[in-house]
Amino acid sequence: MTRTYINNVRLGTFILAGLVFLVLLLYMIGKNRHLFGSNYLLKARFENVQGLKAGHNVRYAGIECGTVKKVSFLNDTLIEVDMLIENKMKSVIRENAIVSVGTEGFVGNKVVNIVPGHGTAPFASDKDMLNSKRPPDTDEMIRTLSKTNDDIAIVADNLKTTIRNINNSEALWELLNEKSIPRNIKFSAENIQLASERAAQMIDDLHLLVENIKNGKGSLGALLTDSSFAINLNDAVDKVSTVAIHVDTLSQQLNQFVSLVRSDVNNGKGVANALLKDSAITTKLNQSLDHIEKGTEAFSQDMEALKHNFLLRGYFRKLEKRAQKDEKKNTANLP
């Protein structure tokens, strides 16, 4: 009897300890899911929750602050998520906070992330609706990565073909093995450097020229800065204009004279007509020129005869001696 009593006591104690442990376990699970303790409700709406379920964690700035209470459909395109948030977050989460659905790790459980919004806003209260952001589509990311992998494979294949063509190109290897190429490149670089130095020198010279012009130095500077030179230039231009006017007047008079001569020639009047068209006057002029030429020749013969005349021979000899003396004097004065 005593032994049976002891066994019953042990059994009761074991069952009681199991019940206490079960209650504690349920309490801990409920506390972790915010089923016990003070909390308040916040809501957000999404077009796609990416497999989010009730009981998943809610984080604010990376710190767990609540759990998902319920995920429900409002219509065929909109889903509402109810979140139980700890009361201590009432002084942290504001109405402009942004809610999004993420993943714990790369392939872990879904989680609701709340991040602070820009600027200041009132703190969120119970049953407030927070703004949401469309979560990234994992399937779309995988499709994009798959397409990227295909593109990389194509690029790698093309690169492999290019390298193979390079390895099989004898002309390219001959070009790379040519020993004169580095020397030519060095020579070209030196020429480029020399050209750059010359260009810099030309720029300096041009700068100096511009400075001299600004300071009124040189002919161009004087032309641009000397006011007296400008006045003289204006006077010269005025004189040239006056000369041009006189030349124009003279040209008009010359044109009138030519017109009169042409009129006389055309009408058979005047000296010009007689000289140009009267053959008798031309004949007389030719005869006069012949007579003058014959007279000049006879005069030369008479002068030569006078030189040999005994009366004038002494006079001409004195002239010759004087001419010879003048010639010697001029020759002696020459350097």
pLDDT in tens, 231-258: 776 777 777 778 778 777 877 877 777 7
Q: What is the DSSP letter of 284?
A: H
The tally of CA atoms less than 13 A away on the side-chain side of residue 86 is 15
Query: CA-based angle 57:58:63, to the nearest 5?
Result: 105
Q: What are phi and psi of 231, to 5 degrees?
A: -65, -45
Whether the Cβ atoms of residue 212 and residue 205 lie closer than 8 Å to each other:
no
Query: CA-based angle 21:26:32, to the nearest 5?
Result: 125
How high is the pLDDT of residue 82?
Answer: 94
Could you identify the residue written with the tokens 């295909």? 150
Structural domain contains residue 23:
yes
Could you identify the residue written with the tokens 């006389």? 264
Structural domain contains residue 5:
yes
Co-location of 59 and 131 in the same domain: yes
Co-location of 46 and 113 in the same domain: yes
Distance of alpha carbon 34 from its chain centroid, rounded?
63
Which letter, b or e, does each residue of 103-113 get, where b requires 16 or more Cβ atoms within 10 Å of its Cβ?
A: beeeeeebbbb
Alpha helices in the chain (DSSP H): 2-32, 138-167, 170-177, 180-214, 218-225, 227-267, 270-277, 279-307, 313-333
Co-location of 63 and 102 in the same domain: yes
Query: Is residue 196 over pLDDT 50?
Result: yes
Query: Is residue 134 over pLDDT 70?
Result: yes
Co-location of 55 and 110 in the same domain: yes
How many angstroms separate the CA atoms of 49 and 71, rounded? 9
How many angstroms separate the CA atoms of 147 and 130, rounded? 35
Structural domain contains residue 246:
no
The arithmetic mean of pLDDT across residues 14-27, rounded, is 74
Could you identify the residue written with the tokens 């058979």? 268
Structural domain contains residue 240:
no
Co-location of 115 and 165 in the same domain: no
Q: pLDDT band at 8, cuts 50/70/90?
A: confident
Structural domain contains residue 266:
no
Structural domain contains residue 271:
no
Co-location of 160 and 198 in the same domain: no
Full residue range of the structural domain in which residue 295 is found: 279-324
How many angstroms separate the CA atoms of 226 and 224, rounded? 6
Co-location of 189 and 211 in the same domain: yes
> Judging by beta carbons within 10 Å of its beta carbon (0-12, 13-18, 19+), is residue 159 exposed, middle or buried?
exposed
Distance of alpha carbon 30 from its chain centroid, rounded?
67
The two tokens of residue 91 are 């002084």
Could you identify the residue written with the tokens 């710190």? 63
Structural domain contains residue 311:
yes
Co-location of 164 and 188 in the same domain: no
Q: pLDDT band at 28, cuts 50/70/90?
A: low
Co-location of 87 and 104 in the same domain: yes
Whether the Cβ atoms of residue 39 and residue 86 lie closer than 8 Å to each other:
yes
Q: What spatial distance separates the first Cα and last Cα of the chain, rounded to whole Å?
A: 174
The two tokens of residue 118 are 């820009």
Residue 86's identity, in one-letter code, is E
**Whole-number average pLDDT of the chain:** 78
| pTM listed for this prediction | 0.37
Query: Is residue 34 over pLDDT 50?
Result: no
pLDDT digits over 310-319, tens only?
Answer: 666 666 677 7
Give the number of domains in the chain.
Answer: 5
Co-location of 105 and 47 in the same domain: yes
CA distances (Å), origin 3, targets 6, 8, 16, 108, 292: 5, 9, 20, 54, 191
Co-location of 162 and 99 in the same domain: no
